[in-house]
Each structure stands twice: as C-alpha cells, then as structure tokens.
Amino acid sequence: MLPLLKVDFNPVAEFTDFVHNPYVTLPLGLDINKAVVYMWMAALLATLLTLFAVRRSLKVRPDGRQTVAEVVYDLAQNQVARGGLPEEGMRIWFPYVATLFVFIWMMNLIGFVPLPFGERHFDLFGLSIPEFQIYAATANLSVTLALTLVTFVATHVEGIRYNGVIPYFRSWVPSDTPWWIMPIMVPVEVISQLVRIVSLSFRLFFNLLAGHLVIAVFLGLASLLGTYFILPIGIPMGVALYLLEATLIAGLQAFIFATLSAIYIGGAIHPDH
C-alpha cells in the first residue's frame, strides 16, 4: 500500500502548470496556452452549433434541432436577460448576456470531454500520444476574471451613459442618508462594487475547479487503491459526480454568471430600482 501512496500525483498542477509552459510564447503575456486553446474550441463550437441551428430553414412545426435552439434562446431572453435588464437595455445588452451564457456553457461542457492535452504521453503503435484528460478553461481564474471585468466595465459605462457621471455615482448612496454617515457609506459602497469582481469571477472558478478535483479524487482513489472494496464505491461515485457536473452544474454556472451580469448592467441603467 505504501508504494501506491508515493505516486507523484498533483491534481492542482493540471490547472496551473500550463501557465509556466505555454504552447506559444508571445509578448505582453499574450501566450497561447491550454486555457486559450479551450476558449477557442468553445467559441468555435458555440458558433457552429448556432449556425447549424438557425441557418437552415426554420419550420412552423419545429423538429428536434429547432426545438433545442428555441429553448436555449427563450432561456437566454426571458430568464437571463429580462430577469435583470430593463426594456431599453435589451437591444444592446441581450446579445451580450446571451452570448456570455452560451460561451461559458460551451467552455464548461468541453471541460468534461477527455481530450489529448495532457503533459505526459503514452505509446500507441509507436506513436507518442498525449494523455487524455478533462480540463475547463473556466477553472482558470484568469479566464473568469477577464469575463468579469468586461461585465464590470460595461456596468459602469452604461450607468454613466444613461444617468450622467454625477447622478450615477450619487445614486450609489440613498438620497435620504444623513450627512454624518456619508464618510462610512461611500467607502462601503465602493468596496461592495469592487467585491462584485471577486464574487462573480471566483464563483465560476471555484465551482468548476472543485468539481474537477472531486471527480479526480474519487476516480484516483478507485485506481490507486484498486481493491474490491474501494472500486464499487469510487468508480460509481466518480461517474455520478461527473454526470452531475457535466449536465447540471455546467449549465447552472453559465446561467448564474450571465444572469448576474444582466442584473448588474440593469441596475446601473436604473440605479433607483
């Protein structure tokens, strides 16, 4: 048993090593690494699936392909966008939050598909093939933080555009606030706005990272401690968690991120509501 426990296995390294070993090194830190490749795949998949669903002739009585597309569109429009955006903000920001929802959903789903991007290799008919592994770009804090910053900047740009600079920032503090509380309220409100960056980015990052690590732990235990007692527990638990993450959590986290983005932008457009 002791030799098995000495196996060099660091699941966290699967999400951090690529930062130091990018595929292509570019100036200004714009390296092409595993997270970038997965984002490209997610963007390509989202674009191709959307074109496949809507570019073909639409029917009055929709088939399965059209039904799925309509359900996703209705979810993005009525549950995500209209849940947070006012009517005057729908024309500009519905495409953004809908794209955000689909893009993050695709990144999460691809993160549960084993792909040959492992650092280690195995021999197959004399060919050196990278090991297959699961990895999610949204388990990279840089990715979730970049998405959050776009929403954060859009929120305040829209707030200023609709209300003006002074009225918008004045709306952060209730109008009936006594003057002697203002030195406390203003810093608290500024901090609460900055905390949105942390909460929005870390929620998505930690949920996907934790899900992958839990799956790795259960499957790793099943293979590392391959006994008849552990296998019937470790493998079913790992598969059950895998299916839960790939079906429910992947879509739910994309829904939450896009919905909060819509709420933040809508709240900046009408800060008094």
Residue 1 is predicted with a pLDDT of 37
Residue 99 is predicted with a pLDDT of 94
Collapsing DSSP to helix, strand or coil, 132 comes out as coil
Instruction: Return phi, psi of residue 128, to 5°.
Output: -90, 110
Q: How many domains does the chain have?
A: 1
Q: 228 falls in which pLDDT band (50, 70, 90)?
A: low
pLDDT at 4 over 50: no
Collapsing DSSP to helix, strand or coil, 13 comes out as helix
User: Domain range holding 49?
Assistant: 2-269
Q: 125 falls in which pLDDT band (50, 70, 90)?
A: confident
Task: Mention every residue, 6+ apart, whose C-beta is less than 8 A from residue 61.
Answer: none
Structure tokens at 31: 């390296």
Any bridge partners for residue 133, and if so which? 115
Longest dimension (CA), the chain: 77
Which single residue is written with the structure tokens 């999610």? 136
Put simply, whether the predicted model's pTM sits higher than 0.85 gets the answer no
Residue 22 is predicted with a pLDDT of 73
Task: Compute the average pLDDT of residues 223-232.
Answer: 59
**Least confident among 48-57, 122-131, 218-227:** 218-227
User: Does residue 212 contact residue 136 with C-beta atoms inside 8 Å?
Assistant: yes
Host H or E run for residue 123: strand 121-124
Compute how many other C-beta atoms are within 10 angstroms of the C-beta atom of residue 82.
15
Structure tokens at 190: 């500024």
User: 183-210, pLDDT tens digit by residue?
Assistant: 888 888 899 989 999 989 988 888 888 7
pLDDT at 212 over 80: no
CA distance 98 to 259: 9
Residues 247-267: b if buried by 16+ CB within 10 A, e if exposed = eebbbebbbbbbbbbbbbbbb
CA distance 36 to 1: 39
CA distance 267 to 261: 10
Torsion (CA) 39, 252, 141, 201 in degrees, nearest 10? 120
Q: 240 falls in which pLDDT band (50, 70, 90)?
A: confident
What angle in degrees, to the nearest 10, is found between the helix axes of 141-163 and 250-269? 20
CA distance 269 to 93: 11
For the four alpha carbons of 145, 147, 150 and 155, in that order, the dihedral sign comes to: negative
Identity of the amino acid at 209: L
User: 74-102, pLDDT tens digit by residue?
Assistant: 999 999 999 889 998 899 999 999 999 99
